[in-house]
A = this chain, B = another copy of it.
Amino acid sequence: MSHPLYQQHRQTLERAVSAIADRTFWSAYPEVPSGKIYGETAKADGQTAFDARLNKPFAIDQPGESGSVGEEISPFGPKLGITYPRIDLDILVPAALSAMDSWKRASIEDRGGICLEILNRINQHSFEMALAIMHTTGQAYMMAFQAGGPHAQDRGLEAIAYAYQAMTSVPEHVKWSKKVSKTDTVVLDKTYRIVPRGVAVVIGCSTFPTWNSYPGLFASLVTGNAVVVKPHPGAVLPLAITVEIARGVLSEQGFDPNLVTLAADSSDAPITKELVTRPEVRIVDYTGSSAFGDWVEQNTPQAVVYTEKAGVNSIIIDSIDDLRAVTGNIAFTLSLYSGQMCTTSQNIFIPKDGIETGQGPMSFDDVAGAIVKAVDWLLGDAKRGAELLGAIQNEGTIQRIDQAKSDGGTVLRESTPVVNEMFPEARVRSPLILKVDASQQDLYMREMFGPIVYIVETADTDQSIELAAKAARELGAITCSVYSTNQEVLAKAQDASADAGVALSCNLTGQIWVNQSSAFSDFHVSGANPAGNATLSDAAFVVNRFRVVQSRVMVPVEAEAHASL
């Protein structure tokens, strides 16, 4: 008999497995924060639950606790005042390893059902999670709810679906029979066992702590590994809540809760290097800066490593039909969460001689000016501006804006502080837009994370494509956007993007933006350029989290003959 939780969630899992194959639109967890879906009191309950977390220790009963850490400050103003246990890795990691003993021998269905139940519980906490995401990452409420809640849950489910499909593609038992001579047949009973790798570490980032962590967390867990979650010191709460829920479900189901543990640290005493180089650690999922990601890739030979690092994303403007639709779409992309998405465009390439539009030819300056105007208009409404921009996660990004301005280029649009009426203390800055020449590669051929945009004057669209591809190949890129009414240009951009390993979006207008990535359909990060070595999610993201070990037992042929009488 299969596990009751597998029975309960089986349809969702099977639907997810078909979704990753057909890749049309699908979502398991509703993205609309509606009382009709989540319950009329869900929003208020979420607020109450979040408030109750503040200014006290986050209770989590893990082995190896030794002191506490806690330094989260909301980008919208207040200190969270939450402390988390600091842990002794010499106690925690062996406890995680030994927690695998019964988990790894559970069936694929048992583990799958339990992982889906964890996601289900997380989904029920989506309003609390929205506040936890908002007040650690600086995402505005709506985005925090969607990206940190249902979209992250969908990405977790997607990874489980890939892992489930991969594990179940290997039969559990087979009778193998080979005629070895005219009279003799050899029969073997073969058993294939899914064997996990060991302890997995998930390293969270400060901007998308759940969305970027859930795929690795659930892919490792469902394949039989234990998972140590190492949050960014500035965004612990969303992952602490996640770990709490996971531990609760595991305990209820009779498994060791140390299958999922929290390893919080502080920015002045980081533990990541010590953690990921431990011999028990056999899988690492990393999201964060390129420098540290490169270090992890090169210094953990005992582990398989999946990284999402940084990059330089481009927009190529060649020719457009409807100027307002295009500049409106671009302005939204540049403003959303103040450019703090790994998918946000940094460089906009426009030919120096201007472009063709549905309204006639336009000069470079007019196109650049229209983009600036669209941003101004979008942020002109204070409430809409606040909801779009969110807040700047950390002070380093503010300094980077100032640095960008002083480094050079012509300022087309100043970055200015913006007042958030609900949170007057919020750290908000609108996008800085600079004009540079294609030759000024020292300025724009570098990652400038945050609301910093370079509009680059190129010789022509061929050079624009070449420079966008160069950035992707050499610095990494996750997205590229192209606007052209010319099919040949689009085809050329598609070839160049494929070769540079960057996902391309063509002629986006309206309610869809280049920085959106949809679970079950969009492959996030190609793994084919320096922006990361893995994709959220594909088969390659899951199949090496477990191995298959076989055993074969001789079946005496007499017994066979006898059995068939």
List the number of copies, as a whole number: 2
Q: Judging by beta carbons under 8 Å apart, are A538 and B527 in contact?
A: no
A143 vs chain B, min Cβ distance (A)? 15
Whether a CB of chain B sits under 8 angstroms from the CB of A186 is yes
Partner of A539, one of B197, B528, B543, B552: B543
Query: What residues of B have a CB within 8 angstroms of the CB of A554 in the complex?
Result: 505-510, 512
Task: Specify which of A174, A507, A512 lies most central, judged by the most chain B CB atoms within 10 Å of its CB.
Answer: A512
Q: Judging by beta carbons under 8 Å apart, are B526 and A548 in contact?
A: yes
Q: Judging by beta carbons under 8 Å apart, are B547 and A501 in contact?
A: yes
Q: Judging by beta carbons under 8 Å apart, are A190 and B521 in contact?
A: yes
Query: What residues of B have a CB within 8 angstroms of the CB of A178 in the complex?
Result: 25, 512, 518
A172-216, CB < 8 A from B = 174-178, 180-181, 184, 186, 188, 190-193, 195, 197
Q: Judging by beta carbons under 8 Å apart, are A523 and B503 in contact?
A: no
Q: Judging by beta carbons under 8 Å apart, are B528 and A24 in contact?
A: no
Distance of A170 Cα from B184 Cα, bound (Å): 43
Q: Judging by beta carbons under 8 Å apart, are B171 and A23 in contact?
A: yes
A253 vs chain B, min Cβ distance (A)? 22
Total A residues in contact with B, Cβ cutoff 8 Å: 66
Distance of A540 Cα from B181 Cα, bound (Å): 35
Q: Judging by beta carbons under 8 Å apart, are B166 and A503 in contact?
A: no
A447-467, CB < 8 A from B = none
A463-494, CB < 8 A from B = 490, 494
Query: What residues of B have a CB within 8 angstroms of the CB of A502 in the complex?
Result: 549
Query: What residues of B have a CB within 8 angstroms of the CB of A501 in the complex?
Result: 195, 547, 549
A304 vs chain B, min Cβ distance (A)? 9
Query: What residues of B have a CB within 8 angstroms of the CB of A497 in the complex?
Result: 549, 551
Whether a CB of chain B sits under 8 angstroms from the CB of A297 is yes
Whether a CB of chain B sits under 8 angstroms from the CB of A544 is yes
Whether a CB of chain B sits under 8 angstroms from the CB of A511 is yes
**Residues A176 and B518 in contact in the complex (CB < 8 Å), given A169-B21, A184-B511, A523-B192:** yes
Contact with B along A327-362 (1 / 0, CB 8 A): 000000000000000000000000000000000000
Distance of A506 Cα from B166 Cα, bound (Å): 27
Query: What residues of B have a CB within 8 angstroms of the CB of A509 in the complex?
Result: 554
The 10 closest A-B CB pairs, nearest first, are A504-B551, A528-B547, A180-B511, A506-B553, A540-B543, A186-B512, A25-B178, A507-B554, A498-B549, A539-B543
Q: Using a CB–CB distance below 8 Å, which chain A residues touch chain B? A: 21-25, 166, 169-171, 174-178, 180-181, 184, 186, 188, 190-193, 195, 197, 297-298, 301, 490, 494, 497-499, 501-512, 518, 521-523, 526-528, 535, 538-540, 543-544, 547-554
